[in-house]
Structure 1
């Protein structure tokens, strides 16, 4: 398995994104002996997290260790190569294939798997980089268990915040909201819901985290007030990395995520998508499962077709998979 920029000119499958979803798809494409190139820009969403939780047989494991092991496992499939680069353009060739521009080089592929993920908007407060992934988090499902019994701040305002804060009551001893704004944060109905759940609201703009990473003491506001907490959760915005999907004309939902069917096939024939870039629950275990579905569906869609010279001899087509050709 290569990690250099020595790229093949032509592959059966191009997987864009080398996180959990992309590497899972590549694993199954390798098992179907499909010449596959994985292009990884290294911008994995959970690269700042200390640990991945709830992953069967690997609970917990650091994100970096998980990816190192996944790449090591992938090396047994000689048809799969990985390069650390960026895909800047992707377009159909008009011949049922796709052409990608990868750090200036051109690669054509018969199928594409988009596993480009999303980007989280971080709070603009001092020390956020040091604390993010340790005691500052964006995902209650991922990290709420580690906040059990703790005093938790939910940072931010917006119509989704009351429900987001209430979810953390599954684990936290106390939940309070710091609005991070000087304006009106919640309407009367939202305020009533928060009061019902005994979630207090502190109006003010966040300035800095107090305490060392791993021993958080609270959050300091612009007026000098320190709000006590051992954990901070936030949910400002999540930006799908959908530029390539848009270039191809893939259908996007109202949140900018790529619409897929049960086989992870997008609205564009030959293009699959998996992981956080698609609608649904955003967990590493889910991304791995979706990647596996995309990889198998992508590989089997090529049955009955002669592909690259290094691909397997065409097996007989099957009716089940004709919709994915």
Structure 2
């Protein structure tokens, strides 16, 4: 007997979808391999009633709430295969198990690739962040660095200026990043620019103190923002033939339906930015409503 829905991904989107579906008396299996993208993050911000909570604590609270619904089962398994089986789907896991589901929700999220700067991983999530809305408050009024190139360099720097006026933009070796107009706007606000490559991040216990540039000079900063390259954490959408949007996320309608009937997506898998837990949770709720509505339509 197939469950009504298999949810792949145990982040805020997947867990909130499981909660809504459980409360709708739907049978759900949620696959969570316990490898969250925000493992390096110490606090989750901007989530009403949970502002500042540790991501691990948020997951524990959510799992306890899901346990109250007997039709929701959480599997600590990594999904390795997914394929169409008649009108539904078969999902294979790393332990060799197979599960059947009428609907599938992809909530696997994203993986970020950081700039190739030695040691950047030890600062990421501690004093270097990707989202000013999530962590700008804690960095307010400090001397900050923005590490970005391409089209996002101006956008991220302009956004970071909301929290600190003491900014330096480093394009880390990229030359053609800003237009003349953008450069003038930054300079008129006292925002400095260096195109030199960063050879070292200096600090202690994840707290950034300064950066050393290739010419040997040092720039003082006590944190900042970095623009990663975002990619889908799993290729299930590709395997199933789901269309993608211009940001690289899975294209969905307002209730999470993808271009493939019976497949839904929520959270960072479909909404690339901003990557906030509260937004992902809301997307999961909307997708769950879409799934339940389609199951009702089929059953009637």
Shorter-chain TM-score tier: over 0.9
Q: Report the alpha carbon displacement of residue 303 of structure 1 after superposing the two structures with TM.
A: 2.2
Q: Deviations over 1:197-225 (max 9, x none)?
A: 32111222112221213542111223332
Matched position secondary structure for 2:157:
helix
- What pairs up with 1:85-124 in 2 under 5 angstroms? 85-93=77-85, 95-103=86-94, 104-124=96-116
Q: Report the alpha carbon displacement of residue 183 of structure 1 after superposing the two structures with TM.
A: 4.1
What TM-score do you get using the length of structure 1 for normalisation? 0.86
Equivalent residues of 1:13, 1:110 under 8 A apart = yes
Q: Deviations over 1:28-85 (max 9, x none)?
A: 1111222211112333222211100011111110111101111111111111111222
Matched position secondary structure for 2:137:
helix
Matched position secondary structure for 1:41:
coil
Q: Aligned pair in 2 of structure 1 residues 62, 247: CA closer, same or farther (>3 Å)? A: same
- What pairs up with 1:225-264 in 2 under 5 angstroms? 225-241=217-233, 243-264=235-256
What TM-score do you get using the length of structure 2 for normalisation? 0.93
1:57 paired to 2:49: yes
Structure 1 unmatched ranges of 5 or more: 1-8, 306-313, 318-325
Select 2:183's aligned residue among 184, 191, 214: 191
Count of residues in Structure 1 that have an aligned counterpart in Structure 2: 298
1:42 paired to 2:34: yes
Equivalent residues of 1:74, 1:80 under 8 A apart = yes
Alpha-carbon distance between aligned partners in 2 of 1:202 and 1:235, rounded to the nearest angstrom: 16
Equivalent residues of 1:242, 1:257 under 8 A apart = no
Aligned twin of 1:291: 284
Select 2:274's aligned residue among 252, 256, 281: 281
Equivalent residues of 2:168, 2:194 under 8 A apart = yes
Q: Deviations over 1:284-310 (max 9, x none)?
A: 1111111111123212322265xxxxx
